[in-house]
Chain A
Protein backbone atom coordinates (compact mmCIF):
# COMPACT_ATOMS: atom_id res chain seq x y z
CA UNK A 1 0.00 0.00 0.00
CA UNK A 2 3.12 2.17 0.11
CA UNK A 3 2.93 5.29 -2.06
CA UNK A 4 -0.90 5.39 -2.08
CA UNK A 5 -2.92 8.23 -0.49
CA UNK A 6 -5.47 7.38 2.21
CA UNK A 7 -8.31 7.79 -0.31
CA UNK A 8 -6.57 5.61 -2.83
CA UNK A 9 -5.84 3.02 -0.17
CA UNK A 10 -9.50 3.05 0.92
CA UNK A 11 -10.62 2.64 -2.68
CA UNK A 12 -8.14 -0.15 -3.15
CA UNK A 13 -9.55 -1.90 -0.11
CA UNK A 14 -13.08 -1.28 -1.37
CA UNK A 15 -12.18 -2.91 -4.65
CA UNK A 16 -10.84 -5.90 -2.77
CA UNK A 17 -14.08 -6.12 -0.77
CA UNK A 18 -16.00 -6.59 -4.02
CA UNK A 19 -14.24 -9.89 -4.35
CA UNK A 20 -14.84 -10.98 -0.79
CA UNK A 21 -17.90 -12.26 1.02
CA UNK A 22 -17.79 -13.20 4.71
CA UNK A 23 -14.01 -13.09 4.57
CA UNK A 24 -13.98 -15.73 1.80
CA UNK A 25 -13.11 -14.89 -1.80
CA UNK A 26 -16.26 -14.76 -3.94
CA UNK A 27 -16.31 -17.54 -6.51
CA UNK A 28 -15.62 -16.47 -10.07
CA UNK A 29 -15.88 -18.68 -13.15
CA UNK A 30 -12.16 -19.41 -13.00
CA UNK A 31 -11.94 -19.99 -9.26
CA UNK A 32 -14.96 -22.29 -9.23
CA UNK A 33 -13.27 -24.67 -11.67
CA UNK A 34 -11.26 -27.57 -10.35
CA UNK A 35 -7.51 -27.32 -10.92
CA UNK A 36 -7.80 -30.17 -13.37
CA UNK A 37 -10.45 -28.42 -15.47
CA UNK A 38 -8.48 -25.18 -15.26
CA UNK A 39 -5.38 -26.97 -16.56
CA UNK A 40 -7.35 -28.45 -19.47
CA UNK A 41 -8.95 -25.16 -20.44
CA UNK A 42 -5.64 -23.32 -20.25
CA UNK A 43 -4.00 -26.00 -22.40
CA UNK A 44 -6.57 -25.88 -25.20
CA UNK A 45 -6.87 -22.08 -25.09
CA UNK A 46 -3.09 -21.63 -25.24
CA UNK A 47 -2.55 -24.14 -28.04
CA UNK A 48 -5.30 -22.57 -30.18
CA UNK A 49 -3.89 -19.12 -29.41
CA UNK A 50 -0.36 -20.10 -30.47
CA UNK A 51 -1.52 -21.92 -33.59
CA UNK A 52 -3.87 -19.21 -34.84
CA UNK A 53 -1.88 -16.07 -34.18
CA UNK A 54 1.11 -14.71 -36.01
CA UNK A 55 4.26 -15.77 -34.14
CA UNK A 56 7.56 -17.64 -34.40
CA UNK A 57 6.88 -19.92 -31.44
CA UNK A 58 4.66 -22.66 -32.88
CA UNK A 59 6.84 -25.28 -31.19
CA UNK A 60 5.41 -24.08 -27.86
CA UNK A 61 2.10 -25.75 -28.75
CA UNK A 62 3.82 -29.14 -29.10
CA UNK A 63 5.93 -28.62 -25.98
CA UNK A 64 2.85 -27.71 -23.94
CA UNK A 65 1.08 -30.76 -25.37
CA UNK A 66 3.89 -32.97 -24.02
CA UNK A 67 3.66 -31.22 -20.65
CA UNK A 68 -0.12 -31.67 -20.60
CA UNK A 69 0.22 -35.38 -21.49
CA UNK A 70 2.55 -35.83 -18.49
CA UNK A 71 0.06 -34.04 -16.23
CA UNK A 72 -2.85 -36.22 -17.41
CA UNK A 73 -0.68 -39.32 -16.90
CA UNK A 74 0.02 -38.22 -13.33
CA UNK A 75 -3.74 -38.26 -12.64
CA UNK A 76 -3.88 -41.87 -13.83
CA UNK A 77 -1.23 -43.12 -11.41
CA UNK A 78 -3.70 -44.17 -8.65
CA UNK A 79 -5.72 -46.15 -11.19
CA UNK A 80 -2.59 -48.07 -12.19
CA UNK A 81 -1.53 -48.94 -8.66
CA UNK A 82 -1.34 -52.74 -8.90
CA UNK A 83 -3.62 -54.79 -6.67
CA UNK A 84 -3.00 -58.20 -8.24
CA UNK A 85 0.20 -59.81 -9.50
CA UNK A 86 -1.15 -59.94 -13.04
CA UNK A 87 -1.63 -56.15 -12.97
CA UNK A 88 2.07 -55.49 -12.39
CA UNK A 89 3.24 -55.39 -16.06
CA UNK A 90 0.68 -52.74 -17.06
CA UNK A 91 1.37 -50.74 -13.91
CA UNK A 92 5.14 -50.83 -14.41
CA UNK A 93 4.69 -49.77 -18.05
CA UNK A 94 2.46 -46.80 -17.16
CA UNK A 95 4.64 -45.66 -14.26
CA UNK A 96 7.76 -45.90 -16.44
CA UNK A 97 6.14 -43.92 -19.24
CA UNK A 98 5.07 -41.28 -16.71
CA UNK A 99 8.62 -40.96 -15.35
CA UNK A 100 9.90 -40.64 -18.92
CA UNK A 101 7.32 -38.02 -19.88
CA UNK A 102 7.43 -35.99 -16.66
CA UNK A 103 10.58 -33.91 -17.50
CA UNK A 104 8.62 -32.39 -20.39
CA UNK A 105 6.67 -30.25 -17.91
CA UNK A 106 9.55 -28.33 -16.36
CA UNK A 107 11.44 -28.48 -19.66
CA UNK A 108 9.20 -25.65 -20.85
CA UNK A 109 10.84 -23.33 -18.33
CA UNK A 110 14.08 -23.78 -20.26
CA UNK A 111 12.23 -22.65 -23.40
CA UNK A 112 12.79 -19.14 -22.05
CA UNK A 113 16.14 -19.29 -23.87
CA UNK A 114 14.23 -18.72 -27.11
CA UNK A 115 13.91 -15.08 -26.17
CA UNK A 116 17.42 -14.87 -27.64
CA UNK A 117 15.72 -14.59 -31.04
CA UNK A 118 15.18 -10.93 -30.18
CA UNK A 119 17.52 -8.07 -29.28
CA UNK A 120 15.34 -6.35 -26.67
CA UNK A 121 17.06 -3.07 -27.24
CA UNK A 122 14.52 -1.47 -24.91
CA UNK A 123 16.41 1.80 -24.42
CA UNK A 124 16.26 2.40 -28.16
CA UNK A 125 12.62 1.56 -28.95
CA UNK A 126 9.59 -0.40 -27.81
CA UNK A 127 9.50 -3.15 -30.42
CA UNK A 128 6.02 -4.65 -30.09
CA UNK A 129 6.94 -7.83 -31.94
CA UNK A 130 9.50 -8.61 -29.22
CA UNK A 131 7.04 -7.99 -26.40
CA UNK A 132 4.33 -9.99 -28.16
CA UNK A 133 6.69 -12.97 -28.25
CA UNK A 134 7.73 -12.26 -24.67
CA UNK A 135 4.06 -12.43 -23.68
CA UNK A 136 3.49 -15.73 -25.55
CA UNK A 137 6.55 -17.41 -24.10
CA UNK A 138 5.98 -16.18 -20.54
CA UNK A 139 2.32 -17.31 -20.69
CA UNK A 140 3.40 -20.79 -21.84
CA UNK A 141 5.96 -21.02 -19.05
CA UNK A 142 3.42 -19.90 -16.42
CA UNK A 143 0.96 -22.54 -17.60
CA UNK A 144 3.70 -25.19 -17.59
CA UNK A 145 4.62 -24.18 -14.02
CA UNK A 146 0.97 -24.62 -13.03
CA UNK A 147 1.02 -28.08 -14.63
CA UNK A 148 4.24 -28.85 -12.77
CA UNK A 149 2.75 -27.95 -9.39
CA UNK A 150 -0.32 -30.11 -10.09
CA UNK A 151 1.83 -33.01 -11.29
CA UNK A 152 4.04 -32.89 -8.20
CA UNK A 153 0.90 -32.75 -6.08
CA UNK A 154 -0.33 -35.97 -7.74
CA UNK A 155 3.03 -37.63 -7.10
CA UNK A 156 3.04 -36.49 -3.46
CA UNK A 157 -0.49 -37.84 -3.01
CA UNK A 158 0.64 -41.16 -4.44
CA UNK A 159 3.74 -41.35 -2.26
CA UNK A 160 1.76 -40.48 0.86
CA UNK A 161 3.46 -39.43 4.09
CA UNK A 162 5.75 -42.43 4.38
CA UNK A 163 9.33 -42.40 5.58
CA UNK A 164 10.76 -42.59 2.06
CA UNK A 165 8.32 -40.26 0.34
CA UNK A 166 10.57 -37.18 0.51
CA UNK A 167 13.55 -39.15 -0.76
CA UNK A 168 11.48 -40.58 -3.61
CA UNK A 169 10.20 -37.12 -4.50
CA UNK A 170 13.77 -35.81 -4.56
CA UNK A 171 14.77 -38.72 -6.79
CA UNK A 172 11.84 -37.91 -9.08
CA UNK A 173 12.98 -34.26 -9.28
CA UNK A 174 16.58 -35.30 -9.93
CA UNK A 175 15.57 -37.70 -12.70
CA UNK A 176 13.50 -34.87 -14.18
CA UNK A 177 16.57 -32.60 -14.24
CA UNK A 178 18.62 -35.30 -15.99
CA UNK A 179 15.75 -35.72 -18.47
CA UNK A 180 15.73 -31.97 -19.14
CA UNK A 181 19.51 -32.06 -19.70
CA UNK A 182 19.12 -34.97 -22.16
CA UNK A 183 16.35 -33.17 -24.03
CA UNK A 184 17.95 -29.73 -24.08
CA UNK A 185 21.59 -30.55 -24.84
CA UNK A 186 21.66 -34.07 -26.29
CA UNK A 187 18.44 -33.36 -28.25
CA UNK A 188 16.76 -36.68 -27.45
CA UNK A 189 13.03 -37.18 -26.88
CA UNK A 190 11.38 -39.58 -24.42
CA UNK A 191 10.53 -41.91 -27.29
CA UNK A 192 14.23 -42.35 -28.15
CA UNK A 193 14.59 -44.40 -25.00
CA UNK A 194 12.58 -47.06 -26.85
CA UNK A 195 13.84 -46.50 -30.37
CA UNK A 196 17.54 -45.73 -29.71
CA UNK A 197 18.27 -46.69 -26.08
CA UNK A 198 21.96 -47.57 -26.54
CA UNK A 199 22.80 -44.43 -28.50
CA UNK A 200 21.08 -42.34 -25.81
CA UNK A 201 22.99 -44.06 -23.01
CA UNK A 202 26.27 -43.75 -24.89
CA UNK A 203 25.77 -40.01 -25.52
CA UNK A 204 24.74 -39.46 -21.91
CA UNK A 205 27.84 -41.19 -20.56
CA UNK A 206 30.07 -39.31 -23.00
CA UNK A 207 28.58 -35.97 -22.01
CA UNK A 208 29.25 -36.24 -18.26
CA UNK A 209 31.17 -33.14 -17.26
CA UNK A 210 31.36 -30.49 -14.57
CA UNK A 211 29.07 -28.24 -16.64
CA UNK A 212 26.48 -31.00 -17.04
CA UNK A 213 26.56 -31.61 -13.29
CA UNK A 214 26.08 -27.89 -12.61
CA UNK A 215 23.19 -27.63 -15.07
CA UNK A 216 21.43 -30.63 -13.48
CA UNK A 217 22.02 -29.14 -10.00
CA UNK A 218 20.60 -25.75 -10.97
CA UNK A 219 17.52 -27.23 -12.61
CA UNK A 220 17.00 -29.45 -9.54
CA UNK A 221 17.18 -26.39 -7.28
CA UNK A 222 14.76 -24.51 -9.54
CA UNK A 223 12.27 -27.38 -9.36
CA UNK A 224 12.58 -27.57 -5.58
CA UNK A 225 12.08 -23.80 -5.41
CA UNK A 226 8.92 -24.08 -7.55
CA UNK A 227 7.62 -26.83 -5.24
CA UNK A 228 8.45 -24.79 -2.12
CA UNK A 229 6.93 -21.57 -3.42
CA UNK A 230 3.92 -22.77 -5.41
CA UNK A 231 3.42 -26.32 -4.12
CA UNK A 232 0.41 -27.16 -2.03
CA UNK A 233 1.39 -30.49 -0.51
CA UNK A 234 -0.97 -33.33 -1.34
CA UNK A 235 -3.79 -30.93 -2.12
CA UNK A 236 -6.11 -32.76 0.30
CA UNK A 237 -8.49 -30.39 1.98
CA UNK A 238 -8.09 -27.65 -0.60
CA UNK A 239 -11.43 -26.32 -1.83
CA UNK A 240 -11.04 -27.45 -5.40
CA UNK A 241 -9.82 -30.99 -4.91
Chain B
Protein backbone atom coordinates (compact mmCIF):
# COMPACT_ATOMS: atom_id res chain seq x y z
CA UNK B 1 0.00 0.00 0.00
CA UNK B 2 2.78 2.38 1.00
CA UNK B 3 4.58 1.68 -2.27
CA UNK B 4 1.43 2.43 -4.22
CA UNK B 5 1.03 5.77 -2.42
CA UNK B 6 4.69 6.59 -3.14
CA UNK B 7 4.13 5.76 -6.78
CA UNK B 8 1.06 8.03 -7.03
CA UNK B 9 2.86 10.86 -5.24
CA UNK B 10 5.89 10.51 -7.55
CA UNK B 11 3.79 10.43 -10.71
CA UNK B 12 1.72 13.42 -9.52
CA UNK B 13 4.85 15.39 -8.61
CA UNK B 14 6.44 14.68 -12.01
CA UNK B 15 3.20 15.63 -13.81
CA UNK B 16 2.96 18.92 -11.89
CA UNK B 17 6.61 19.69 -12.65
CA UNK B 18 6.10 19.00 -16.39
CA UNK B 19 2.96 21.10 -16.49
CA UNK B 20 4.56 24.00 -14.60
CA UNK B 21 7.41 24.08 -17.11
CA UNK B 22 4.99 24.01 -20.06
CA UNK B 23 3.10 26.99 -18.65
CA UNK B 24 6.30 28.89 -17.83
CA UNK B 25 7.73 28.36 -21.31
CA UNK B 26 4.41 29.22 -22.96
CA UNK B 27 4.33 32.56 -21.12
CA UNK B 28 7.90 33.33 -22.20
CA UNK B 29 7.26 32.43 -25.83
CA UNK B 30 3.94 34.29 -25.98
CA UNK B 31 5.52 37.45 -24.53
CA UNK B 32 8.27 37.33 -27.14
CA UNK B 33 6.29 36.30 -30.21
CA UNK B 34 2.75 37.52 -29.44
CA UNK B 35 1.56 34.50 -31.42
CA UNK B 36 -1.08 31.96 -30.45
CA UNK B 37 0.52 29.38 -32.75
CA UNK B 38 3.80 29.58 -30.88
CA UNK B 39 1.97 29.58 -27.56
CA UNK B 40 0.16 26.36 -28.53
CA UNK B 41 3.41 24.75 -29.68
CA UNK B 42 5.06 25.75 -26.40
CA UNK B 43 2.14 24.40 -24.36
CA UNK B 44 1.48 21.11 -26.13
CA UNK B 45 4.93 19.89 -27.13
CA UNK B 46 6.40 18.15 -24.11
CA UNK B 47 9.81 17.05 -22.83
CA UNK B 48 11.79 19.86 -24.41
CA UNK B 49 10.49 19.46 -27.95
CA UNK B 50 8.94 22.93 -27.57
CA UNK B 51 12.29 24.44 -26.58
CA UNK B 52 14.10 22.59 -29.37
CA UNK B 53 11.58 23.78 -31.96
CA UNK B 54 11.69 27.40 -30.80
CA UNK B 55 15.47 27.28 -30.61
CA UNK B 56 15.83 25.81 -34.13
CA UNK B 57 13.34 28.14 -35.81
CA UNK B 58 13.64 31.41 -33.92
CA UNK B 59 16.45 31.63 -31.41
CA UNK B 60 19.30 30.33 -33.56
CA UNK B 61 18.32 32.67 -36.38
CA UNK B 62 18.71 35.65 -34.05
CA UNK B 63 21.61 34.86 -31.79
CA UNK B 64 22.60 31.27 -32.65
CA UNK B 65 22.72 30.77 -28.90
CA UNK B 66 25.92 32.79 -28.71
CA UNK B 67 25.76 34.29 -25.22
CA UNK B 68 28.03 37.16 -26.24
CA UNK B 69 25.34 38.29 -28.71
CA UNK B 70 22.52 38.11 -26.16
CA UNK B 71 21.40 40.91 -23.90
CA UNK B 72 21.81 40.27 -20.17
CA UNK B 73 18.06 39.83 -19.84
CA UNK B 74 17.90 37.30 -22.71
CA UNK B 75 20.85 35.40 -21.31
CA UNK B 76 19.19 35.22 -17.90
CA UNK B 77 15.90 33.97 -19.36
CA UNK B 78 17.51 31.28 -21.53
CA UNK B 79 19.80 30.11 -18.76
CA UNK B 80 16.70 29.64 -16.60
CA UNK B 81 14.72 27.88 -19.35
CA UNK B 82 17.52 25.42 -20.13
CA UNK B 83 18.31 24.82 -16.49
CA UNK B 84 14.66 24.00 -15.76
CA UNK B 85 14.59 21.70 -18.78
CA UNK B 86 17.73 19.87 -17.65
CA UNK B 87 16.35 19.53 -14.10
CA UNK B 88 13.13 18.19 -15.61
CA UNK B 89 15.04 15.50 -17.49
CA UNK B 90 17.10 14.55 -14.44
CA UNK B 91 13.94 14.18 -12.33
CA UNK B 92 12.29 12.17 -15.13
CA UNK B 93 15.29 9.84 -15.40
CA UNK B 94 15.42 9.36 -11.63
CA UNK B 95 11.65 8.79 -11.39
CA UNK B 96 11.58 6.34 -14.31
CA UNK B 97 14.57 4.37 -13.04
CA UNK B 98 12.87 4.19 -9.61
CA UNK B 99 9.50 3.13 -11.05
CA UNK B 100 10.92 0.47 -13.41
On A, residues with C-beta under 8 Å from B are 36-37, 40, 69, 72-73, 75-76, 78-81, 87, 90, 93-94, 97, 189-192, 194-195
Contacts and interface: CB of A to CB of B under 8 A. Distances in A.
B82 interface: yes
Range for the number of chain B residues in contact with chain A: 10 to 19
B86 A78 contact: no
Given A75-B65, A76-B65, A191-B97, A37 B56 contact: yes
B79 A80 contact: yes
A189 B79 contact: no
Contacts of A97: 86, 90
A191 B56 contact: no
B83 interface: yes
Given A78-B67, A80-B79, A90-B79, A40 B56 contact: yes
Contacts of B82: 76, 79-80, 94
13 contacts: A36-B60, A37-B56, A40-B52, A69-B89, A76-B65, A78-B67, A79-B67, A80-B79, A80-B82, A94-B82, A189-B97, A191-B93, A194-B90
B78 interface: yes
Given A73-B86, A79-B75, A94-B83, A195 B60 contact: no
Contacts of A195: 94, 97-98
A161 B97 CA distance: 40
B79 A79 contact: yes
A36 B65 CA distance: 12
Interface in B81-100: 82-83, 86, 89-90, 93-94, 97-98
B66 interface: yes
Interface in B44-60: 52, 56, 60
Contacts of B65: 75-76, 78-79
A94 B81 CA distance: 12
Nearest to A190: B93
A97 B90 CA distance: 9
10 shortest interchain CB distances as A-B pairs: A191-B93, A79-B67, A78-B67, A90-B83, A76-B82, A191-B97, A191-B94, A195-B94, A97-B86, A79-B79
A133 B64 CA distance: 37
B58 to A, nearest CB: 14
A195 B56 CA distance: 33
A65 to B, nearest CB: 10
Contacts of B98: 195
A234 to B, nearest CB: 14
B99 to A, nearest CB: 12
Contacts of A76: 65, 82
Contacts of B66: 78
Given A69-B89, A94-B86, A195-B97, A81 B67 contact: yes
Contacts of A80: 79, 82-83
